[in-house]
């Protein structure tokens, strides 16, 4: 059973540059003890025969394969545009920039 002292909590608080009151030292020591106990229990259960995992269930790719297909030509893309200029969409100026 881990047992963290008030002095260790004060040292950790100093390293983290946290202002901690005397009452908080006792509270945090108890909370950190609970956390360390929980980690110790998990370490007892963990076995060397069990590989580490990142997900509880296997991941599968649900996306289809990329297939190259013909797209629109520049002319086809611009034919529905309200305005075009030099092969590009023409849009109104919004930032008051100089030409």
pLDDT digits (tens, 9 = 90+) for 25-74: 999 999 999 999 998 888 887 677 777 778 888 888 888 888 999 999 99
Between β-strands 84-85 and 88-89, what pairing exists: parallel, antiparallel or unpaired? antiparallel
> What are the tens digits of pLDDT across the range 4-13?
899 999 999 9
pLDDT of residue 83: 93
Model confidence at 78, pLDDT cuts 50, 70, 90, reads very high
pTM for this one?
0.45
All domains in the chain, ordered by first residue: 6-43 (1.10.20.60)
């Amino acid at each position: 059973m881990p047992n963290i002292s008030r002095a260790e909590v004060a040292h950790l608080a100093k390293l983290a540059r946290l202002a901690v009151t005397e009452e908080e030292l006792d509270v945090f020591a108890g909370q950190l003890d609970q956390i360390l106990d929980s980690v110790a229990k998990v370490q007892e259960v963990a076995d060397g025969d069990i590989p580490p995992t990142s997900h509880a269930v296997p991941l599968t790719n649900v996306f289809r394969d990329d297939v190259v297909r013909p797209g629109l030509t520049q002319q086809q893309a611009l034919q529905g545009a309200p305005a075009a200029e030099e092969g590009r969409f023409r849009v109104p100026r919004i930032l008051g920039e100089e030409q």
